[in-house]
Amino acid sequence: MEMTVKGAADLLKGAKDVLILCHQSPDGDTLGSGYGLYFCLKKLGVRARVLCPDKIPELFKPLLRGYREEPFDPALVVAVDIADAKLMGRLCAQYGDSVDLCIDHHISNTGYARRLLLDREAAGTAEVIFALAKEWGLAPDPHLADCLYTGIATDSGCFKYQNTTPRTHRIAAELMEWGADAAEINRAIFDTKSQGRLAAESALIRSIRYFCGGRLAVAVMDLATIAETGAGPADFDGLTALPRQVEGVEIGVTLREREPGFFKVSVRTSSYVDASALAAQLGGGGHIRAAGCTVRGTADEAVETIHQLAKEFLH
């Protein structure tokens, strides 16, 4: 059942002993929303606890300032920013079927929860928590503002992505007036990188080969190169967008060797090539600007396969 902000606000205000669930591999939006909701409920005199299936990254630890873990048997289970019960990870077995209220912004939400407060226009779930805070008439609070700003900045790529709306900016303005330490939060999220991540980036950049007058860029992360960097697998996550970001590149491809002779291929395009059509030629698929497939062979063979195919798509 889909709820209104007012309906969800009433439900939560009248509740007691609320368990708040975050999704696995927690990011700034699920944590900012989860702890943000906790601090709202605390102000309302409602006891709450936040549960996260995975370890909380160091950079988001400041959100927990003032949080106190209290033991209780939950009377209401709330999932924040969890589009699918599977994303609860290790908590799915216990809570997958028993979420009383899901607060979310993903259009892909599967409707697994008994009640759903879903704002498909929100850049982050933290925008929805902000709407609840306003509905409750809560007084401005700097730490709550830090939580919600963290959620919004994370999911909007610091207001850079398509999902940013005028409302996103107006909420950010109000959160800054509440006292959110926006510059410091952004420094921690966007301008801090691990040594491993930086090594992975450098290796990936170095591996880029350009073809077709610079319109095709192919990065090749074979097993030997990956081992050399000393970076872990997670350090390579999200780097597949890099080759396409090079000036003049229409098709950016990243080949990542998963086992000897077996490459996972990510295809990104800038403006006119249909990435999914290209990937489909190799048995893969995806979206118009981002798609994927697999290729077998040596690194050089894999690059040549991509090169021959891609040039048919460029004009």
If the CB atoms of residues 108 and 162 are measured against its own copies, the closer one turns out to be: 162
**Distance separating alpha carbons of residues 166 and 281, to the nearest angstrom:** 40
Which of these, 281, 283, 280, 286, lies nearest to 268 by C-alpha position? 286
Binding mask 127-166 for its own copies (x = CB under 8 A): -------------------------------xxxxx-xxx
Interface region with its own copies, contact rule CB under 8 A, candidates 86-94, 113-121, 172-180, 253-261: 172-180
Tokens representing residue 106 in the block: 């993903």
**Distance separating alpha carbons of residues 288 and 284, to the nearest angstrom:** 13
If the CB atoms of residues 49 and 268 are measured against its own copies, the closer one turns out to be: 268
If the CB atoms of residues 195 and 281 are measured against its own copies, the closer one turns out to be: 195
If the CB atoms of residues 76 and 131 are measured against its own copies, the closer one turns out to be: 131
- Residue 180 beta carbon to its own copies: minimum distance, rounded to whole angstroms: 10
Interface region with its own copies, contact rule CB under 8 A, candidates 42-50, 64-72, 118-126, 198-206: 198-206
Amino acid at 140: P
Please answer whether residues 95 and 128 qualify as being in contact, where contact means their C-beta atoms are separated by less than 8 angstroms.
no
CA 175 to chain centre: 21
Binds its own copies (CB under 8 A): choice among 21, 40, 145, 172: 172
296 contributes a contact to its own copies by CB under 8 A:
no
**Distance separating alpha carbons of residues 287 and 268, to the nearest angstrom:** 9
Please answer whether residues 39 and 146 qualify as being in contact, where contact means their C-beta atoms are separated by less than 8 angstroms.
no
Binds its own copies (CB under 8 A): choice among 4, 86, 120, 190: 190
Place of tokens 């209290």: 70
Place of tokens 């209220």: 101
C-alpha distance from residue 172 to each of 168, 254, 260, 262 (Å): 6, 35, 47, 45
Binds its own copies (CB under 8 A): choice among 98, 194, 281, 308: 194
C-alpha distance from residue 312 to each of 137, 215, 278, 299, 305 (Å): 59, 12, 9, 21, 12
**Distance separating alpha carbons of residues 5 and 135, to the nearest angstrom:** 7
- Residue 202 beta carbon to its own copies: minimum distance, rounded to whole angstroms: 4
214 contributes a contact to its own copies by CB under 8 A:
yes
> Euclidean distance between the first and final Cα of the chain, in Å?
49
Binds its own copies (CB under 8 A): choice among 10, 186, 262, 294: 186
Which of these, 301, 132, 123, 116, lies nearest to 218 by C-alpha position? 301
Binds its own copies (CB under 8 A): choice among 206, 272, 298, 300: 206
Residues 48-77 that bind its own copies (CB under 8 A): 58
Binding mask 225-244 for its own copies (x = CB under 8 A): ----------------x---
- Residue 169 beta carbon to its own copies: minimum distance, rounded to whole angstroms: 4
Binds its own copies (CB under 8 A): choice among 44, 208, 223, 277: 208
Tokens representing residue 105 in the block: 């912004």
Angle between helices 182-190 and 166-178 (to 10 degrees): 120
- Residue 117 beta carbon to its own copies: minimum distance, rounded to whole angstroms: 23
245 contributes a contact to its own copies by CB under 8 A:
yes
Tokens representing residue 53 in the block: 């299936």
- By CB under 8 A, name the binding residues for its own copies: 58, 158-162, 164-170, 172-174, 176-177, 182-183, 186-187, 190-195, 198-199, 201-202, 205-206, 208, 210, 214, 241, 245-247
